Structure 1
């Protein structure tokens, strides 16, 4: 229950910030273009808090925190007094209307730059992209990439951590091959050609890196317990933090993966665990809880977290920049995310990425909750990513979104006359239907991942 409330609160906070930025973009440019703004609302439904400024704009914080809007004076919607017609949205030039509509997504992009700028000035802790293992017969192994090598660049992008590595790899989806530069412990910098012919991301792919056969280095996981969950089988049967598990039913435990496999196969079954606790060796009978999988199969659950070995020196670094370099880093990373977002939309349409990879509000809420838990820098990074995605999504040429309005205004600019009201109304209905289907599919994916 706590996780649910935490994720929900984090989601509302993140969405509120990003919607405010988006709508303020529309609001600010509308005011500059001489349009009268009637209402600036964050959320929908019943107003909880309202106030007015000296120009008569009503500001609202509403009960349903799932979006927002800016209501402008518009003769197509309401009757407008003769002395205020020049203040209506529809009376402005098509160039002004394009600027007002485009300002929302552009505000999201600008906000992402500011967030990343702040993040890089605060300092970003990153994990050096050292390869832990290479899957046999994978694209990476065929290319000659090996474990213990450090990734330096993919294509034209220099990479410093695993997130940048993933982004750089995804930017080359659709290419026949990509140049990969690695630092080998013995041979120094080596150039490899990674074959990407026919590379796609299906339903069962854990990550783009795993799909080409690369597993990042992680410190070895021990069989010592670092955390015991409340109300878990481990707590119930007396396991404690610091216990080291050596034997289970007489079988020697040599790895955490081996122990996980035994526990998952032993739901509601008694297991005799031999552990060391300080200088003592103890035998404890434990019955793992039954936690069914998504497919309905029985799976054992103990409720413990293992202790990991320390990271080797130099594997974790902090990237920190001054105001000027930090700003350029923010611009560069924002542009990279914008480009990648549009490319991913294209890959979804062509089938190179499965639609099952789409996430909806639940996935975003979980990401928001996790990022807040990790601290300010992680939350800034998450906000920047979602801000870019919100901007890109709103630029899609669906008539109900900003991109659909822009499409109509660009057509009007070319034809020298507006698109008919009937055509626009039909487009809005189609756009609403497509948006509803996309949202429903993303929510379905979210529930399937729970």
Structure 2
């Protein structure tokens, strides 16, 4: 329940921020064009909080946090005096109306740049993309990728950490191949062609790396106890933090993996552990427990340190961080457009789409990792909202922009009946997408 509340809270904050910036883009440019704004709303439905600004605009936060809107004066709908007609949105030129509408998505891109700029200023913990294990008979193994090599570029685009690698791979979903540039342990670099024709990536089942047969390099886990859980079999015994388990029932264990398997294979059994403590060895008797049908001891063990240079902080000064924010925002825009194209062409299925529930889960997960990860998530959501709103679908900003472009070419507005019919079609499309994404979200929750 606590995790659900955390995810919902993070979702409301994330969506509230990106929607506020989107609507503020419309609001700010509308005011600069001399349009009177009647209502600035974050959310839909019944207002929970509202107040009247000195500028005459009603500001409000509504009950349904799934969007927002800016309602502008329209002299063909609202009762207005003759003096106020010039402040009507519909009385403005095509260029001014176009600017007001496009300002929303543009504000989302600016927000993304700002979020990523702040993220890079704070600094994000990062891990060099050095390959750990490679699964047998996997795409990675068949391509010639081996443990210990570092990925330095994908498709001639440099990568600094595993997040860069993941973004590059997501961009390649549905493609036939990709090219890795790798650096061998002896420093020699070479290109490796990775065939993706047999790549079956299911985001609900595994990560992009796992689906290719790749694993992130991690130092070996030792058999030295780092933590003993409360009310566990280990806490009821004489085991202590710092003890190193080197055998079970007279069997010498080579590593923690072997020790863990021996424990898991003996639920509820009484076992003799051979440990090293203070330079000596001793036997300790332990009554194992059971968890999910497997033997349970209730300890966590230490991990060896990363080699020098493997861990680093991705952090820049103000100017370089700004340039990085612009570059990453541009990459996110390209990624979003690429995914939309592949969705239309059938290279990826509609089952990959996520709705409000999926976004809430993502927001909660990133928020739990820390501020810099949440900022990265905000940038992704903001760019996605900006790009989607530019699609030429009636009801979205892109649909309005399409009508204004036609009006500019024709010299007169698109007939009202055609606009009304188009808006109904747009509403049907958006409603269908919402149902599909909610269905996908529910399927992921119950699977």
> Would the alpha carbon gap of residues 114 and 433 (structure 1) be closer, same or farther in structure 2, given more than 3 Å must change?
same
> Would the alpha carbon gap of residues 73 and 150 (structure 1) be closer, same or farther in structure 2, given more than 3 Å must change?
same
| Preserved CA contact (<8 Å) 1:275 1:282 | yes
The separation in 1 between residues aligned to 2:233 and 2:409, in whole angstroms, is 69
Structure 1 portions without partners, runs of 5+: 291-298
Pair 1:87 & 2:87 matched? yes
Pair 1:394 & 2:389 matched? yes
Pair 1:364 & 2:367 matched? no
The separation in 2 between residues aligned to 1:348 and 1:249, in whole angstroms, is 57
> Would the alpha carbon gap of residues 3 and 192 (structure 1) be closer, same or farther in structure 2, given more than 3 Å must change?
same
Corresponding position of 2:36: 36
- Report the 3-state secondary structure (helix = DSSP H, G, I; strand = E; otherwise coil) of the residue aligned with 1:434: helix
Corresponding position of 2:120: 120
Corresponding position of 2:368: 373
- Computed over aligned residues only, the root mean square deviation of the Cα atoms, in angstroms, reads 3.5
Structure 1 residues 239-277: Cα deviation after superposition (integer angstroms, max 9, x where no partner)? 9987878889999987777788899999xx745566578
Pair 1:98 & 2:98 matched? yes
The separation in 2 between residues aligned to 1:19 and 1:235, in whole angstroms, is 50
> Would the alpha carbon gap of residues 366 and 257 (structure 1) be closer, same or farther in structure 2, given more than 3 Å must change?
farther
> Would the alpha carbon gap of residues 446 and 312 (structure 1) be closer, same or farther in structure 2, given more than 3 Å must change?
farther
Corresponding position of 1:61: 61
| Preserved CA contact (<8 Å) 2:102 2:401 | yes
Corresponding position of 2:280: none
Within a 5 Å distance, the mapping from 1:158-307 to structure 2 comes to 158-173=158-173, 175-186=175-186, 188-197=188-197, 199=199, 201-202=201-202, 206-221=206-221, 270=268, 281-289=284-292, 307=302
Shift of 1:26: 0.6
The separation in 2 between residues aligned to 1:245 and 1:127, in whole angstroms, is 30
Corresponding position of 1:432: 427
| Preserved CA contact (<8 Å) 1:243 1:276 | no
- Report the 3-state secondary structure (helix = DSSP H, G, I; strand = E; otherwise coil) of the residue aligned with 2:178: strand
- Report the 3-state secondary structure (helix = DSSP H, G, I; strand = E; otherwise coil) of the residue aligned with 1:182: strand
Bigger radius of gyration: 2
Structure 1 residues 212-233: Cα deviation after superposition (integer angstroms, max 9, x where no partner)? 3322212334566766788999
- Report the 3-state secondary structure (helix = DSSP H, G, I; strand = E; otherwise coil) of the residue aligned with 2:63: strand
| Preserved CA contact (<8 Å) 1:245 1:274 | no
The separation in 1 between residues aligned to 2:264 and 2:444, in whole angstroms, is 19
| Preserved CA contact (<8 Å) 2:119 2:372 | yes
The separation in 2 between residues aligned to 1:71 and 1:21, in whole angstroms, is 15
| Preserved CA contact (<8 Å) 2:132 2:215 | yes
The separation in 2 between residues aligned to 1:432 and 1:232, in whole angstroms, is 56
The separation in 1 between residues aligned to 2:57 and 2:254, in whole angstroms, is 68
Moved more, 360-369 or 204-213: 204-213
| Preserved CA contact (<8 Å) 2:85 2:91 | yes
The separation in 2 between residues aligned to 1:76 and 1:385, in whole angstroms, is 38
> Would the alpha carbon gap of residues 198 and 407 (structure 1) be closer, same or farther in structure 2, given more than 3 Å must change?
farther
Moved more, 333-342 or 69-78: 69-78
The separation in 2 between residues aligned to 1:234 and 1:407, in whole angstroms, is 67
| Preserved CA contact (<8 Å) 1:246 1:273 | no
The separation in 1 between residues aligned to 2:120 and 2:435, in whole angstroms, is 36
Moved more, 227-236 or 402-411: 227-236
TM-score normalised by length of structure 2: 0.85
Moved more, 301-310 or 359-368: 301-310
- Report the 3-state secondary structure (helix = DSSP H, G, I; strand = E; otherwise coil) of the residue aligned with 2:67: strand
The separation in 2 between residues aligned to 1:249 and 1:284, in whole angstroms, is 13
Moved more, 78-87 or 181-190: 78-87
TM-score normalised by length of structure 1: 0.84
